[in-house]
Amino acid sequence: MLKIPSDSKKSFFLFGPRGTGKTSWVKSTFPNAVYFDCLDAKVYTELLSNPKRINNYIPNKFDDWIIIDEVQKVPEILNEVHRLIENKHYRFILTGSSARKLRRKGINLLAGRALIRSMHPFTAIELGEDFDLQKALCFGQLPAIVSESDPQDFLKAYTSVYLKEEVLQEGLTRDLGAFIRFLETASFSQGSLLNMSEIAREANIKQKTVTDYFEILNDLLLAYKLPIFTKRAKRRLVSHPKFYYFDVGIYLSIRPKGILDTFSELNGIAMETLFFQELRAINDYLQLDYKLYYWRTSYGTEVDFIAYGEKNLLAFEVKSKKQISNKDLKGLNAFKKDYPIAKCYLIHLGSQREYHKDIKVIPIQEALFMLPKLLI
């Protein structure tokens, strides 16, 4: 659903985790572009040693796009990109699976000169008739999952390769074992309030290290912290953010499983994660500019997701059950009481819509396809 007009005059960054299809998308959407792959050893070495060499590969009076793939590998190139945008009015597409080095070394140089766009795992709308809810809940929505004969094996390889390439090669941590323990421990916080001291204790690492590791996940676009909604709060609220890995399949592949894990527990978090990743994707692709939150009182009354915008306030509760009771509506009813203008939705596994006063109950299969309509 990501759309950039081919005749647009504005350069842009395209950020997204590895495997979300950035390279395939830019190559197919802009087939006449000059393309640089910074994962290619020769290109990487040449641009790193002398960024101005990029000029040798751009034709005179070039009026199409210039793509620099995985630009975070050579952040020094941004100075030259800046110069070429200013002096020659070139249009760049700068893709990246990490914002760490760019933020440190000059992404602000292009402030106002380059838009920022994001790419996410597939959405149900993009897959259309190929969307399989049960498969999405088990393996996520990364593009390779659609064609993989063994999705579970792919997910394990994805995590392993990503750790080796991004964490080790970039020197983000010297203790890979501790980082892997952290990843697994953090997975138990999926969809839950973050407790840094508890994670540090469970992973047997220092709390400061845990904080640093969460920053690494954020920089590599692998995870997201969801803040608490406190606008004009009328109740005492919790203060800690909630935590989500960016894709349900990645979360399930990282999370250790044992005999005590129930299907309903894992399926509930998986469904919540799937809805959240699609909510983020639609919000970004349609450039709706909603700020996303969750809401929880100090007494435990909660709403999973709040979308706060200039014109709308939306509240979403996700339940992995087919039959809805009054207890399931408690959080939304409390939120609606505090914020009467809010539009409230409960997303569930049933097959029929229901209406409970001001709360609409929508099956998840239907909700995922109508998200743009709900948000607009």
Q: What is the DSSP letter of 73?
A: G
Residues 251/245, Cβ–Cβ less than 8 Å: yes
- Residue 137 φ then ψ, to 5°: -70, -25
Q: What is the pTM of this model?
A: 0.93
What does the pLDDT profile of the chain (376 residues) look like in tens digits? Answer: 777 766 678 899 999 998 999 999 999 999 999 999 999 999 999 999 999 999 999 998 888 999 999 998 898 898 899 899 989 999 999 999 887 777 666 555 566 677 889 999 999 999 999 999 999 999 999 999 988 888 988 998 888 777 666 677 666 667 778 888 999 999 999 999 999 999 999 999 999 999 989 988 888 899 999 999 999 888 898 889 999 999 999 999 999 887 656 666 778 999 999 999 999 999 999 999 999 999 999 999 999 999 999 999 999 999 999 999 999 999 999 999 999 999 999 999 999 999 999 999 999 999 999 999 999 8
Bridge pairing between strands 313-319 and 302-308: antiparallel
CATH class of the domain comprising 128-272:
mainly alpha
Instruction: For Cα atoms 47, 53, 55, give the angle at the middle one, nearest 5 degrees.
Output: 125
Cα–Cα distance for residue pair 257/15, rounded to 1 Å: 31
Cα–Cα distance for residue pair 289/310, rounded to 1 Å: 9
Bridge pairing between strands 34-37 and 65-69: parallel
Cα–Cα distance for residue pair 66/33, rounded to 1 Å: 5
- Closest CA relative to residue 332, chosen from 309, 303, 292, 307: 303
Burial of 4 (0-12, 13-18, 19+ CB in 10 A): middle
Instruction: For Cα atoms 153, 249, 287, give the angle at the middle one, nearest 5 degrees.
Output: 135
Return the pLDDT at 158: 87
Cα–Cα distance for residue pair 339/300, rounded to 1 Å: 18
Of the CA atoms within 13 Å of residue 84, those in its CB half-sphere come to 25
Cα–Cα distance for residue pair 14/97, rounded to 1 Å: 9
Residues 12/116, Cβ–Cβ less than 8 Å: yes
Q: Where are the domains of the chain?
A: 11-118, 128-272, 280-375
Domain 11-118 has CATH 3.40.50.620: no
Bridge partners for 302 per DSSP: 296
Report, at the CATH architecture level, how domain 280-375 is classified.
3-Layer(aba) Sandwich (3.40)
Cα–Cα distance for residue pair 61/276, rounded to 1 Å: 44
- Closest CA relative to residue 315, chosen from 299, 301, 298: 301
Cα–Cα distance for residue pair 182/304, rounded to 1 Å: 24
Cα–Cα distance for residue pair 123/131, rounded to 1 Å: 8
Instruction: For Cα atoms 229, 230, 234, give the angle at the middle one, nearest 5 degrees.
Output: 125
Q: What is the DSSP letter of 352?
A: S
Q: Which single residue is written with the structure tokens 């409390």? A: 334
Per DSSP, helices labelled H in 70-193 are: 77-88, 100-105, 124-127, 133-139, 143-147, 151-162, 176-187
Tell which phi-psi region holds residue 338, choosing left (phi > 0), alpha (psi between -120 and 50) or beta: alpha
Residues 168/176, Cβ–Cβ less than 8 Å: yes
Cα–Cα distance for residue pair 370/364, rounded to 1 Å: 10
Cα–Cα distance for residue pair 101/38, rounded to 1 Å: 14
**Which residues, other chains included, contact 185 with Cβ-Cβ below 8 Å and sequence gap of 6+?**
199, 202, 203
